[in-house]
Amino acid sequence: MTVIHKNLLDEVLDYTNRANPYPIYARMREHPILVQDDGRYIVSTYTEIRAILQDPRFSSDLRKGYSQADQRILPEHGEVSFISLDPPKHDWLRYQVMSKFTPELIYGLRSRTEEIVKELLDARRNENRLDIVDDFAYPLPVTIICELLGVPREDEPRFHIWAEHIVRGLDPGSHSKAEIEQQARQARNELNQYMGELINSIQKQPHPGLLSAMLHDTTHEKHMGKEELVATSNLLLNAGHLTTVNLITNSMLTLLRHPDSFEKLRREPTIVADLVEEVLRYEQPVQLIRRTTLTDVSIAGVTIPKGAPVYLITASGNRDPLRFTDPDLFDPARPDIEHLSFGGGLHYCVGAPLARLETHIALTELARRLQAPRLVEDPPPYRESAVLRGPRHLLVNYERLLD
Ligand code: HEM
């Protein structure tokens, strides 16, 4: 039976629900698959989301769907990045990145990450207050992704504005606002132009970083074209700097709301990996994933027609009581935290090891160095985006900062 619900996705979008969307997700889960009266399908339960992420009948290429709104958020010029492509092209482009994005490369970033964390915290030594977002959780991943790719760090004010507009255009429902759509399109074009110019300059002269490595790669017979490289670089730059900020900030917020866990981390830094996995489940930085159907698909008693826009609400799947005992409890000692936060199947997040590395080091140092930290405001002010969800600021007072 198909259950039609008018506005649950709109309720998630409503900014007044940003600090706590979980009661809306609980209402969504009363039916694993809902269709809204605007034709969008919502999948909110763990088992169904996991199955769809592995199912080749669900496409990441939204151009194959019938939603006019989805067509309009795609770039006017250039290539689509591989997060929005299906095999075989997706697999080939992903391979070009993965062959460079090796575990050795990520592990090799450990000492540089520790150095940046130290510098950012040392800068607050004579203060008693820090904004976890602006002073710490944002500059850390930005610096790392710029150095990793070979994008000038000083260009951040330019590319960050484009990224913000692109993110605003990703929110389901933003298509109803012509101005947001127009800004997102313009931002995509400007980012494409910026990246194209950067790649031209690297083409003339090899440069440290992944962009240059991909451009001057001679190990494969076939190379990425310039527009493919622009799209791939934009994806890595945006994914690398807009997501980890929320993971670090959501982690601090959750730990300060659970001081026993914070204290435990201070005493036993080795628990950091379990802590971060539980934060990923409990306060997910990317709340939903988009797909469209390549054919009619029947799932959980509902037939989703070919070309339908489908929203996988992974943040809801992570709180599904059929999968996790006491899902609304923050419990880093859970035996199996197999969350959906990095997606699954062919599109599983490329940057998961990097995001984990940065967050592990960040949290361990915050717990070790901040003496008597306290939240200034709870809930904190949130970012506008319902998809990339996290606080815009997280002010923390502390008595002292240890060396
Ligand atoms: C906490 C941080 C992060 C979260 C929660 C996250 C989440 C996700 C999710 C859910 C997907 C799957 C999207 C889909 O199936 O449509 C994804 C894909 C992707 N992520 Fe991440 N991400 C994070 C950090 C990063 C970082 C640091 C990078 C790059 C350095 C990155 C690069 C990518 C790329 C390239 C894809 C596309 C993979 C593909 O389509 O094959 N992510 N990410």
pLDDT attached to residue 115? 98
Q: Tell me the percentage of the chain whose pLDDT exceeds 70.
A: 95
Q: Whose CA is nearest to atom 32 of ligand 1?
A: 351
In which band, very low, low, confident or very high, does the pLDDT at 127 lie, cut at 50, 70 and 90? very high
Chain length of the chain: 403
The answer to whether residues 329 and 340 touch, using CB atoms and an 8 Å cutoff, is: no
Evaluate: CB of 243 within 6 angstroms of ligand 1. yes
What is the whole-number distance in angstroms between the Cα of residue 276 and the centre of ligand 1? 16
Written as six digits, the tokens of 47 are 């088992």
pLDDT digits (tens, 9 = 90+) for 286-306: 999 999 999 999 999 999 999
Written as six digits, the tokens of 3 are 């259950």
The answer to whether residues 391 and 133 touch, using CB atoms and an 8 Å cutoff, is: yes
Does pLDDT of 173 surpass 90?
no
pLDDT digits (tens, 9 = 90+) for 318-377: 999 999 999 999 999 999 899 999 999 999 999 999 999 999 999 999 999 999 999 999
What is the whole-number distance in angstroms between the Cα of residue 215 and the centre of ligand 1? 22
User: Which residue is it, tokens 């659970």?
Assistant: 258
**Of 18-32, 66-80, 200-214, where does mean pLDDT reach its minimum?**
66-80
Q: Whose CA is nearest to atom 22 of ligand 1?
A: 349
In which band, very low, low, confident or very high, does the pLDDT at 205 lie, cut at 50, 70 and 90? confident
Written as six digits, the tokens of 345 are 């199947």
pLDDT attached to residue 200? 93
Residue 5 backbone phi and psi in degrees, to 5: -125, 135
pLDDT digits (tens, 9 = 90+) for 380-403: 999 999 999 999 999 999 999 999
- One DSSP character per residue, 307-340 reads T-EEEE-HHHHTT-TTTSSSTTS--TT-S----S
Average pLDDT, the chain: 93
In which band, very low, low, confident or very high, does the pLDDT at 134 lie, cut at 50, 70 and 90? very high
Q: Whose CA is nearest to atom 40 of ligand 1?
A: 83
Evaluate: CB of 250 within 6 angstroms of ligand 1. no
pLDDT attached to residue 73? 62
What is the whole-number distance in angstroms between the Cα of residue 389 and the centre of ligand 1? 14
The answer to whether residues 75 and 169 touch, using CB atoms and an 8 Å cutoff, is: no
Q: What is the mean pLDDT of residues 274-278?
A: 98
pLDDT attached to residue 136? 98
Q: How far apart are CA 118 and CA 145, in angstroms?
A: 17
Q: How far apart are CA 257 and CA 65, in angstroms?
A: 42
- Tell which residue, 245, 238, 241, 237, has the closest CA to residue 210: 237
In which band, very low, low, confident or very high, does the pLDDT at 274 lie, cut at 50, 70 and 90? very high
- In order of their start, the domains of the chain are 3-401 (1.10.630.10)
Residue 300 backbone phi and psi in degrees, to 5: 50, 40
Evaluate: CB of 137 within 6 angstroms of ligand 1. no
Q: How far apart are CA 370 and CA 288, in angstroms?
A: 33
What is the whole-number distance in angstroms between the Cα of residue 62 and the centre of ligand 1? 17
pLDDT attached to residue 2? 61
Cα angle for residues 35, 348, 389 (degrees, 5° grid): 60
Q: Tell me the percentage of the chain whose pLDDT exceeds 90.
A: 79
Index of the ligand 1 atom closest to the CA of residue 246: 1
Index of the ligand 1 atom closest to the CA of residue 97: 35
Does pLDDT of 281 surpass 80?
yes
Evaluate: CB of 351 within 6 angstroms of ligand 1. yes
Q: What is the mean pLDDT of residues 243-262?
A: 98
Our mutation pick for probing the ligand 1 site, out of 86, 143, 243, counting the most ligand atoms within 8 A of Cβ, is: 243
In which band, very low, low, confident or very high, does the pLDDT at 111 lie, cut at 50, 70 and 90? very high
Q: What is the mean pLDDT of residues 186-196?
A: 93
pLDDT attached to residue 79? 85
Evaluate: CB of 233 within 6 angstroms of ligand 1. no
For residue 124, give Cα distances in angstroms to 145, 370, 378, 401, 402: 23, 10, 22, 8, 11
What is the whole-number distance in angstroms between the Cα of residue 352 and the centre of ligand 1? 7
Evaluate: CB of 235 within 6 angstroms of ligand 1. yes
